[in-house]
Structure 1
């Protein structure tokens, strides 16, 4: 991976650094939002879930407009602007004592993170040839997981001293990136295509809905994100229901560590071999591993069993993520790449719904029913992905014969 980073131009490495440092800022604070909201605003667990989940959902929906802006405005200015929103969100959450303002700042930082994510992915399509894109998406996803692996430990140390320190550190990381990018960023970088006439946001939305390939991948992404979007949350819910708090803590600690280790060690190695020619086979392999992982969760009775199951599950994750990025970049028209990535970001809705659906299943059915439900989401999501990929192949074949 280090060799790949040395091979990329400085503008690509700077964009990759945004994924690491902004994700690190996010990961430092997010795990402690529940504790902070409970102690600072005296909210119940259900109310906290509503605040955090609603902010994630609103941020995901707003990211569609962020994708629209990506196709219209300078990438350099957008990154600086939304990094400013990112910093403002953390500073605001740190200083406000009003819940409604806290919610707005939480939405602001989630929206900013989503838009920067879209701008970066769209920029890769401009800066790198198709052959390099699977590698750069794998590098990016590895850096993101390094941020998520390291961030909570930094947050835990800071929160031990003061619950506001994680917010301040997250804001400082965002501010540091803002300063560096304002100096060294590529001011000419833009995903906008001046050759195309301006189109309204609603008109672009109608264009997206007519692309069967994108609709299939978006629906498939939402369904499958129910399973992999917040998997530690529903594992915690299941274990709290069926075992002791001590065992739950042991399993979750092991699951998080194994997930991070597998991604960091194997993401780049696996991801660089994923190609457009065999996209269906890669997706089938990825979703099969997801399904095997969920079956493993259902059968697990020891920490070792849970660790092995999550290792298999994570192998599916490191295949599906770069494959879906490559697919979206392939089908997206140059002047609509941002909107296509914005539509892909709607899969975060599935991640937000996962703990809610699993909580309802655990409350109304036998505990193992949750895993049957998750398996059904995997199969349905995989079918939509394969439909989209198959339609794309037929579309390419018909285009080549004209």
Structure 2
């Protein structure tokens, strides 16, 4: 399942038909109010929005108001972040036969931040959990995380939403199932059947899910009617560069802000790719400078991890260098080495090296995690990109401590491959 979050996954196409919503005088008045509010903008009619099919007109007016209240303070930075990736999302929605209005889902899920990381371990634009990514067959090349990879995560997220729509027959319930999981929604609907004509207030979901669903529906209405707009996205070109390559060094040679490269390419796990091809998406303004300087971007030094039993002489032989040079390029290096410690070695011999992280990942995020059934330090560490020893140190506990549901742990989480 996807993560349960309320704001700060390929599949067969789904066709929908709009149903007439206004059936009472109150509903007709609500529609008239909406029309009066947006008359000067000449918006496309709400009837063209399949996400709202079957909902009473009063609900449509209500979700618009809710979305304004929830997202108005965030729309500027959120919509600006969308410029890095949205040009790659829209063609996928079209190719998969999905409603274009699904472009607003990453607003509610991640604020259009592909580096967003939830307290339960979901990450990416569509906030995909590791297990969901495996279930959906989301894959990416070595050195990339498919949950942050723009195309792979979008195909997965849209596939999952389409499956939820096929299962439940309407978009509000599909969004609720995306948020809570299909099993949970099936059980709830078995006890309390629901359809859009019944009104959102009677949907059998908890308040946090109701807020999430109403937010997406309201955002879709605001964007559909032209009351809120996404800025023009930045079109990108795909370019392949043979390794070894240091992304930071490439950006410096091309006189490009390296963080801009990582914003266009959030799927990158590392900043160095030593023995594999790297595929980058870049705007027109970056294309020629990058290609012209690709030959100057091979790293001079790379990171290597100390193994159990290593000393400086063993490491020097392994990487075809000398103890003197190891000390020169690692001036603060102690002669007493610890397993797992990293040090710089010449890049000429690349076996067993540990490339540094994408710097937008390396910042980490402190999370107060609530232990769930089946958790242990190993699977928690794997989910959040840390180690059992690091969790134990941060919480002053033994690394073999038995965890119980409800326990709380401090984590420094780093998004990583699922």
TM norm. shorter chain > 0.5: no
If the length of structure 2 is used for normalisation, what is the TM-score?
0.23
Higher strand share: 2
Which protein is bigger by CA-based radius of gyration? Answer: 2
